[in-house]
Each structure stands twice: as C-alpha cells, then as structure tokens.
Homo-oligomer: A and B are copies of this chain.
C-alpha cells in the first residue's frame, strides 16, 4: 500500500485517539473525585440494557480483558453502586445488579455532563455528529470481527 493511503488510516486512528482522550478528560472532570469513565460506562450500560449481566458479558460489551472488568466492578461494589448475586444458571458465575445509589450516581453524572454536551452541541451540530455514526459503527464492527481472526 502506498504511503499516502496508509496515512489516511493512521490519521484516522490518531484523530480518534485524541478525541477519546480529550472527551474522557472532560467527562472525568465532571465526575465525583476518583471516578472514571469506565465506572460510569458500566452503570450506564446496566441502566440502559438492564442489569443482571455477568462480568464476562460486560467485559465483552466494552471490549476489555476480564481482569479489567473484575477490577472495575470491585471498585463499583466498594462504592456500593452495584451488588453481586449468584448466577442461578451457572455456579462459576455471578450477576451484577444496580443499587439505588448506582442508579442515582448515573443520573447525577448525566446531569453534570449535560452543560458540557450542550456547549459542544452549539459548536458541532447534532446532525454533523449523527452523520459520522454509520461509518464509525462499520469500522467498530470490522475491528471487532478482525479481533477474533
């Protein structure tokens, strides 16, 4: 592949990397001290798609190693934002459920983030962001599949 074609993909991943970093930093500045996007994301996922997921399902959903999810969940449990219940279908496993405190934490975080997103929406119209999503999703799905092979 000629260098200038390589450059397109390099540039893409570079932009994505910087956006991820800046977005994460901005978000975490609005979260309670010591909490990270990884914590919020798990709570948000459980609210949106329903709790009772297993740690492995969560690790798979976020594409992180299961040891990382173990660590994240331990942190959430110690803050009383999630709890564990035995998995009735599998004695090796367990299910992650939200506590009321966990649901509130997520609500508050979204509230704290809203002004930030509103400011962004004023600069970057929603349509412009929406227009990116199909291609981003396609790339994400491709990378996800390529990972297995």
Using a CB–CB distance below 8 Å, which chain A residues touch chain B?
1, 5-6, 8-9, 11-27, 37, 41, 62-64, 110, 114, 116-121, 123-124, 126, 128-133, 135-140, 142-144, 146-147
Contacts of A129 in B (CB 8 A): 8-9, 12, 135, 139
If A1-B114, A22-B140, A26-B147 touch, whether A11 touches B133 (CB-CB below 8 Å) is yes
Q: Are A146 and B120 in contact (CB under 8 A)?
A: yes
Nearest CB in chain B to that of A143: its residue: B22
Smallest Cβ distance from A19 to chain B, in angstroms? 5
Q: Are A123 and B136 in contact (CB under 8 A)?
A: no
If A8-B126, A12-B133, A129-B8 touch, whether A19 touches B114 (CB-CB below 8 Å) is no
Q: Report the 5 A-B pairs with minimum CB-CB distance, sorted nearest first.
A: A22-B143, A20-B20, A15-B136, A13-B23, A123-B142
Q: Are A138 and B110 in contact (CB under 8 A)?
A: no
